[in-house]
Structure 1
């Protein structure tokens, strides 16, 4: 494997492990077995677990946010929300995963400060995007944010994150699909 391939494989497996087990639920030994490299090789790319987690969170965030920002800006607000909901549905994958940043938020007290800040930035970016969509939806009379799109966006994003936990717990996507319905007119 070339250097870029090893690095990408390490990040991909780290994301998958953190989405299912959290930050403290995996080790460099787990990664070495999955990728087929020695733990010393992992330290070459990521000297510390903090470095690895931060890179994994940043890569995950960039991927998710680029997908969100690619949602057609000319689409009606309720259709944007539908596409956003489908994005969350893809996060679930085989039913065992939840949002990487949602999983890590549960462990926030055990995380290094830089990782914590990256997770907070991810939450804020999602909430800001949702606030804009909710404000548009109110103007289009298709979504109801109670006249407070920022507060409604925070509540809605929390509901999306919580629905992923419930989807995982009950092995059903229905909980996720119910979330967006709460703000429809």
Structure 2
């Protein structure tokens, strides 16, 4: 039997999904009200402003994604780690209509307050840092191609992953995502 989710958790879960589908400006408390089955005043009780809700959504999403990344076995070869990382992005796509929550918010960044901007930046930096370590390992093992410093290559690779989910959504195919990982894998 699954544990019962609270109204607050339901609001947050639906907000995360709506942000991934529509972005910051693409949903309202009225949308959430209909999905959760509560009045908008109940949503305001848990999240007084939309910015409070979105910041909590970023934190929840970040904790979940970064937890999954850090759960990747550190003893694995770099190319295997990168493959698992790519699969995480693939899960984010779902049926092909969602993109990374923080990637979606990055597109809206000029309309967001500083605390949300900082949380999104922290998410990007955490991913880039992890990727830099994997790329450095891959260069040492000769399983991944790294041009230049691993930190610079990691930023480019992360940008490619983020862009690939946009293109995957646009073309309704995960092949765009798979192309990113293949671009740094050493041919055997």
State the TM bucket, normalised to the shorter chain: over 0.9
Q: Which 4+ residue blocks in structure 1 deviate beyond 6 angstroms?
A: none
Matched residue SS, 2:166? helix
User: What pairs up with 1:142-157 in 2 under 5 angstroms?
Assistant: 142-157=143-158
Q: Aligned-pair distance for 1:147? A: 3.7
Counterparts of 1:147 and 1:134 in 2: how far apart (Å)? 11
Counterparts of 1:113 and 1:23 in 2: how far apart (Å)? 14
**Residue-by-residue CA offset, 1:15-61 (whole Å, 9 max, x unaligned):** 00000110011000000000000000001000000100000000000
Q: TM-score, normalised by structure 2?
A: 0.96
**Residue-by-residue CA offset, 1:131-182 (whole Å, 9 max, x unaligned):** 0000000000111112410000000000000000000000000000010111
Instruction: State the partner residue of 1:161.
Output: 162
Instruction: State the partner residue of 2:183.
Output: 182
User: What pairs up with 1:94-105 in 2 under 5 angstroms?
Assistant: 94-105=95-106
Instruction: State the partner residue of 1:72.
Output: 73
Note the residue ranges of structure 1 that are not aligned, 5 or more in a row: none
Q: Given the alignment of the two structures, is residue 91 of structure 1 paired with residue 92 of structure 2, yes or no?
A: yes
Q: Given the alignment of the two structures, is residue 28 of structure 1 paired with residue 23 of structure 2, yes or no?
A: no
Instruction: State the partner residue of 2:45.
Output: 44
Q: TM-score, normalised by structure 1?
A: 0.97
Aligned length: 183
Q: Given the alignment of the two structures, is residue 17 of structure 1 paired with residue 18 of structure 2, yes or no?
A: yes
Counterparts of 1:25 and 1:108 in 2: how far apart (Å)? 14
